[in-house]
Chains A and B, each alone.
Chain A
Amino acid sequence: MNFKQMTKTSRDNLGTIAMLVVAFAVVQALRAGGFVNSHMDGMLVPLCVYATMAVSLNLVVGILGELSLGHAGFMCVGAFSSAFFSKCFEQSMGTFPRFLIAILIGGLVAGVLGFLIGIPVLRLNGDYLAIVTLAFGEIIKNLVNVLYVGRDAAGLHISMRDQAALGLAEDGEMIINGPQGITGTPFNSTFTVGFVILLVSTIVVLNLVNSREGRAIMSIRDNRIAAGSLGIPVTRYKMFAFTLSAVIAGCAGALYAHNLSSLIATPARFGYNMSILFLVFVVLGGIGSTRGAIIAAIILTLLPEVLRFMADYRMLIYAVVLIVMMIVNWNPKSRAFIKAHSPKKWFGRGKEDR
């Protein structure tokens, strides 16, 4: 197909994918040439995790138009279910098929949970929906922290009380140890795997936006009641987008889990603050723009490494950025100003308001 004959959207999407592939190639070349120190090398997998989370949250916030404050919860579920699977089948399966299945399981379990949570949550709108997703995120974290699972010859033992209540045999092994989480998950996450997950999620989301379903979802964002009155099944499409987003978050969680020697559901990793960090990625990248979300995630993950001397002020700066971005982008007066002075106008390509 001729590049010029493609629609603007297809070209944009192709640009996003090309950007990812080029970035991947450049990093791989730098690594092969030995220009990447071990510290930066260790950042590559978390980078993919955060970028994937940004894609996932952007689907809910930017395209569906609902605020989810519990996305770290889905990531947590994906991480624990996949790590659980990997621990159980560490000896009995080869690395590649096991890790592939682990990622799929992470996505699947998070997706099922997203669907179940979506049933009550998506009946709500706006502020209520945001606070309920926050509640679910916290509930997930709390439940994982009291979950004890062990294994011995008799099979799996599950308890919500403590290790002793499992009644493990002498040769038994703890798999999920309550607040200590899962230790010794195999290190399978590589930059390549992370890149593939990020690329696949990006392609899925970009294709979704550009499809009949995607347009239905965006019409719900723009005016839910009008969309409903046109015969668009509002709840079904909201559910679809929310579940898909949970699946992507679960895969990112699986990637995250297989990069850690001990997986613990601490607030710093899977709590509310993490969900806010993902939200900052989405807002900074421009709500609704998948490419923007990925770029913001990459910049904000790498920036603290570069600006180590400002480490104390990092979170404060994020907060200010969040507030200023929202006011500049959404205040009616500043929007009119930006529109009137946009550089695009000089080239006669001024776009209408979103």
Chain B
Amino acid sequence: MVSFLNYFINGLSLGSIYAIIAIGYTMVYGIAKMLNFAHGDIIMVGAYIAFSVITTAKLPAAVGVLAAICGCMLLGITIEKIAYKPLRHAGSSLAVLITAIGVSYFLQNVALLIFSSNPKMFTPIIPMSMMTIQLGSFRIQTISLVSIAVGVVLVLLLQLFINKTRPGQAMLACAQDRGAASLMGISVNGTISLTFAIGSAMAGIAGVLLCSAYPTLSPYTGAMPGIKAFVAAVFGGIGSIPGAMIGGLLLGIIEILSKTYISSQLSDAIVFAVLIVVLLVRPTGIMGKVVQEKV
């Protein structure tokens, strides 16, 4: 029972990281109506920035986290401006999807050239002395608790931001009807940039958390979590922030438990099988809305 609880908490912690990534996916998808395939690689970039600041430059962890957040934010805005904006009116979702794959590939290969393919050992942001917490008979990794807490706080903040502030309301308006929003005087370009900035900043945070929990960092670190977070976003209903949170948590728990109790080699396959089942049974996800497609 104790070990099950331990695995469960590990799952929750991985799930919170997925949730933070999935929220970025879901926001971009809701507002820009595109699948930002490069989102997973922004995680990797964030982790490398934190690695360079903390491990190479020997600065405090807080500076590293801040640098990762700012760097990812800038990166997200730049990618949107250079690669996605020219295709916003292309009339083909395939075009922008392939471009996003190109961006993802680009980021991976730039990282490969700068940092080489050898995995780097990431210094966890939690000091050595506080790595684990002893609670009665079992011991929890501090980073798990931090991940869960950060996930919950970010979701609450984001919900507040979207529902209570003017830029947040502008996001909702853009998600609903971009044309009407621009007629109401909302800057659509600005709102899309803001969305990419927030989503990418969260990817940066996720990168630091992910590499603190699983400290090997390579140019491909972000690819798999990125895809799984997308699965989580679809699971929860794409476009819905609470849905992304729930989807992420469930997916993390499924992954860790299947890794423990079924097969470590097949856990990825199981996670993807979940996606397929969800899309078959309820294509709009747990909290998604059904949208009728029109000609």
Binding site for B on A (CB under 8 A): 61, 65-67, 69, 120, 123-124, 126-128, 130-132, 134-136, 138-139, 142-143, 145-146, 160, 223, 225-226, 229, 272, 276, 279, 283, 287, 312-313, 315-316, 318-320, 322-323, 326-327, 329-334
Query: Which 9 pairs across A and B sit closest by C-beta, in order of nearness?
Result: A322-B102, A135-B272, A319-B106, A319-B105, A330-B95, A323-B102, A330-B90, A127-B35, A316-B109
| A322 pairs with B101, CB closer than 8 A | yes
Q: Mark B102-122, 1 if CB is under 8 A from A, else 0.
A: 110110111011000000000
Nearest CB on B from A61, distance (A): 7
Given contacts A128-B234, A315-B109, A326-B98, contact A138 B269 (CB under 8 A): yes
Residues in B neighbouring A332, C-beta threshold 8 A: 89-91
B contact patch SS: helix
B253 in contact (CB, < 8 A):
no
Given contacts A131-B234, A319-B106, contact A330 B92 (CB under 8 A): yes
Once the chains are docked, how many angstroms separate the CA of A230 from the CA of B227?
37
Residues in A neighbouring B234, C-beta threshold 8 A: 128, 131
| A323 pairs with B99, CB closer than 8 A | yes
Residues in A neighbouring B95, C-beta threshold 8 A: 326, 329-330
Q: How many residues of B contact A (CB 8 A)?
A: 47
A contact patch SS: helix
Residues in B neighbouring A126, C-beta threshold 8 A: 93-94, 97
Instruction: Report the nearest B residue to A66, measured CB to CB.
Output: B94
| B97 pairs with A318, CB closer than 8 A | no
Residues in A neighbouring B231, C-beta threshold 8 A: 131, 135
Once the chains are docked, how many angstroms separate the CA of A142 from the CA of B265?
7
Residues in A neighbouring B280, C-beta threshold 8 A: 120, 123
Instruction: Report the nearest B residue to A329, measured CB to CB.
Output: B95
Most B CB contacts (10 A, CB to CB) among A226, A229, A326, A331 go to A326
| B98 pairs with A131, CB closer than 8 A | no
Known: A120-B279, A319-B109, A322-B102. 13 other contacts (CB 8 A): A124-B283, A127-B97, A130-B35, A131-B35, A131-B231, A132-B279, A135-B272, A135-B275, A225-B293, A316-B113, A318-B105, A326-B96, A331-B87
B230 in contact (CB, < 8 A):
yes
Find B103's partner among A225, A323, A334 (CB 8 Å cutoff).
Answer: A323
| A327 pairs with B99, CB closer than 8 A | yes
Nearest CB on B from A160, distance (A): 8
Once the chains are docked, how many angstroms separate the CA of A245 from the CA of B283?
25
Once the chains are docked, how many angstroms separate the CA of A323 from the CA of B82?
10
| B94 pairs with A316, CB closer than 8 A | no
Once the chains are docked, how many angstroms separate the CA of A67 from the CA of B93?
10
Residues in A neighbouring B112, C-beta threshold 8 A: 315
Find B98's partner among A67, A123, A145, A313 (CB 8 Å cutoff).
Answer: A67
Find A124's partner among B83, B108, B279 (CB 8 Å cutoff).
Answer: B279
Given contacts A131-B230, A226-B295, A330-B87, contact A320 B266 (CB under 8 A): no
Nearest CB on B from A68, distance (A): 11
| B268 pairs with A223, CB closer than 8 A | no
Nearest CB on B from A22, distance (A): 31
Nearest CB on A from B233, distance (A): 10
| B295 pairs with A132, CB closer than 8 A | no
Once the chains are docked, how many angstroms separate the CA of A333 from the CA of B88?
12
B127 in contact (CB, < 8 A):
no
B154 in contact (CB, < 8 A):
no
B162 in contact (CB, < 8 A):
no
Instruction: Report the nearest B residue to A161, measured CB to CB.
Output: B263
Given contacts A124-B283, A127-B93, A330-B92, contact A132 B276 (CB under 8 A): yes
Residues in B neighbouring A327, C-beta threshold 8 A: 83, 86-87, 99
28 contacts between A and B (CB under 8 A): A66-B94, A67-B94, A124-B283, A131-B231, A132-B276, A135-B276, A136-B272, A139-B269, A139-B273, A146-B263, A160-B263, A226-B295, A272-B223, A287-B94, A313-B113, A315-B112, A316-B106, A319-B105, A320-B102, A322-B99, A323-B103, A323-B106, A326-B87, A326-B96, A327-B99, A330-B90, A330-B95, A332-B89
Instruction: Report the nearest B residue to A335, measured CB to CB.
Output: B90
Residues in A neighbouring B263, C-beta threshold 8 A: 146, 160
Residues in A neighbouring B227, C-beta threshold 8 A: 131, 134-135
Nearest CB on A from B251, distance (A): 13
Once the chains are docked, how many angstroms separate the CA of A283 from the CA of B102?
11
| A276 pairs with B93, CB closer than 8 A | no
Find B283's partner among A128, A138, A276, A323 (CB 8 Å cutoff).
Answer: A128
Nearest CB on A from B268, distance (A): 6
Residues in A neighbouring B99, C-beta threshold 8 A: 322-323, 326-327
Residues in A neighbouring B269, C-beta threshold 8 A: 138-139, 142-143
| B268 pairs with A67, CB closer than 8 A | no
| A138 pairs with B272, CB closer than 8 A | yes
Given contacts A124-B279, A124-B283, A135-B276, contact A315 B105 (CB under 8 A): yes
Residues in B neighbouring A61, C-beta threshold 8 A: 94
Once the chains are docked, how many angstroms separate the CA of A232 from the CA of B293?
18
Nearest CB on A from B190, distance (A): 21
Residues in A neighbouring B265, C-beta threshold 8 A: 142, 145-146
Residues in B neighbouring A143, C-beta threshold 8 A: 266, 269
| A67 pairs with B97, CB closer than 8 A | yes
Once the chains are docked, how many angstroms separate the CA of A318 from the CA of B112?
14
Instruction: Report the nearest A residue to B87, measured CB to CB.
Output: A330
Nearest CB on A from B270, distance (A): 9
Once the chains are docked, how many angstroms separate the CA of A269 from the CA of B265?
18
Instruction: Report the nearest B residue to A126, measured CB to CB.
Output: B93
Nearest CB on A from B86, distance (A): 4
Residues in B neighbouring A334, C-beta threshold 8 A: 86
